[in-house]
Amino acid sequence: MWWNRLLLVVMVFSFLACESTSRYFRNRMYDTTDLVTIGIEKKSAGVSLFLWCIGGGLKIEDQTRGFGLRDGHLGIYEISDGSRLGISPLLSNDSPKNKLGNSFFLINSSGHFQYRPIPRSKEKDYQILNLLTIFPIASIPNSKQNVTRCNSPLKVETSIAFYYGMRVGMNFSELFDFIVGFIGFDPLDDDEVKGE
């Protein structure tokens, strides 16, 4: 009687102590941190709303730095890496409309650049660029990163600021990754695997 309960407790603890089980639960925990964006930012002004690579607003964020949870990274992040958009010869290099991170309804851009990322989130930096809020541009000429990409195509994020501000959002592609992760699939290839 009592030895059956003891055997059950020993089996449960053995199962939970197993390396693969421990890694499985750690991956589910990490996937949970990928779901939401919540951050406090400084050196930002205006309002923006992005869904995937479309959206924009009236916002200056080319020097914005934030702290919070964004794309699985808990810590300091930046909106711009200092890149110039270079999409129009009519805009001077010093024009605010030509800097990554700024949005002016006609030309909208944003990004995510982590400060000291953990290994599983290193590939989650991205740039966004569109015209008239609805026409994504596939690459940013003359930038350090030659392709503008949204590694989270179903992400919605909004920010509001007057020097200090906040950013909130939800990542629906990471939600899908989290749900199918329970049965062993990893469509975003961000789970820890044996040997890492």
How much is the pLDDT for 147?
43
Element (H, E) at 169: strand 155-171
How much is the pLDDT for 148?
46
CB 39 within 8 A of CB 67: yes
Mean pLDDT, range 147-171, rounded to an integer: 82
Q: Would you list the domain boundaries of the chain? A: 36-181
Displacement of CA 78 from its chain's centroid (Å): 11
**Angstrom distance (rounded) from CA 34 to CA 186:** 13
Q: Where are the extended beta strands (E) located within 52-125?
A: 54-60, 65-70, 73-78, 103-104, 107-114
Reading the block at residue 104, the tokens are 């002016």
Tens digit of pLDDT for each residue in 7-28?
Answer: 777 666 655 555 577 788 888 8
CB 113 within 8 A of CB 81: yes
Q: In percent, how much of the chain has pLDDT > 70?
A: 82
Is residue 46 packed enough to be buried (19+ CB in 10 Å), middle (13-18) or exposed (0-12)? middle
Mean pLDDT, range 78-96, rounded to an integer: 76
Tens digit of pLDDT for each residue in 114-154?
Answer: 998 888 888 888 888 888 888 887 665 555 544 444 545 67
153: CB partners within 8 A, 6+ apart: 52, 53, 173
pLDDT: which is higher, 17 or 57: 57
Residues shown for the chain: 196
